[in-house]
Amino acid sequence: MLKDTLFPTKITLNCQGKCIDLSQPVIMGILNLTPDSFFAGSRQWQIAPEVLLEKAAKMLEQGALFLDLGAYSTRPGAADISVEEEIDRLLPALENLRKQLPQALLSVDTFRSKVAEQALLAGAHLINDVSGGTLDAAMFATVAHYKVPYVLMHMRGTPQTMQQHTQYNQLVPEVISELLNKARELHQLGVTDVILDPGFGFAKTIDQNFEMLRQLDQLVQYGYPVLAGLSRKSMVYRTLKGTAETALNGTTVLNTIALSKGARILRVHDVQPAAEAIQLWKKIENI
């Protein structure tokens, strides 16, 4: 596979006029606004706004650059909800964080263009789409219109069916090819800030997840910032015969491997351990 020559290595993002430097790794903290996310410790649905605000402020204090708000659970087998319910869960939290933590860079985890648009109008800085534009044909145009960074994740099927779509002839080349094709579509629409996410846990078996991590540098070489979302996922806790609640140590190990392979954003439930991993990795790399 030839190196994509459309864009050189991208080490900055434009987040509503704020230039974000990705020459060194950064952290995206997860704030789930759902009752059924796979890690119970991350569920923030219908809690008091001050509790969510406290958790968000703590993530920023511990070193998170982005806060990623998600109001639709994408764990395998999660129930589908309406666009209206997703917006109703999301907007009050987003608006409160925007008001109370104006320094925070707010990412919204959604695959629906209507949700993305409402979030961007409310002040979100970035869209994180688990479907990579495959579940809503209007998503790319929406992101292009608002000129915001976009996390392009690899997935096949839907959150309800994705684990039925794990058949690949060559896993890594196929994932990379599908991501690059979508990235080119985005560039043609004028979206310049594209972040690639290989989609650990989405339409991939546990062994395939590890193969993707083993060859993550093959994706990094194309010059796009790469996001690694490994936090407390089943590839960690099933391998270690534990649960999501016991998967922090394994997550830190895999995050460190992802850093060594070139990942520039770690999306995590636990910010401080990720920040410590980055600090120690930088020491090793003499950065």
Active site members: 233, 267
SS (H, E, C) the chain: CCCCCCCCCCCEEEECCEEEECCCCEEEEEEECCCCCCCHHHECCCCCHHHHHHHHHHHHHHCCCEEEEECCCCCCCCCCCCHHHHHHHHHHHHHHHHHHCCCCEEEEECCCHHHHHHHHHCCCCEEEECCCCCCCCCHHHHHHHHCCCEEEECCCCCCCCHHHCCCCCCHHHHHHHHHHHHHHHHHHCCCCCEEEECCCCCCCCHHHHHHHHHCHHHHHCCCCCEEECCCCCHHHHCCCCCCHHHCHHHHHHHHHHHHHCCCCEEEECCHHHHHHHHHHHHHHHCC
Q: Let me know if 183 is exposed, middle or buried by CB neighbors in 10 A (0-12, 13-18, 19+).
A: buried
Q: How far is CA 12 from CA 58, 184, 266, in A?
A: 25, 18, 16
Query: Do the beta carbons of residue 231 and residue 242 sit within 8 Å?
Result: no
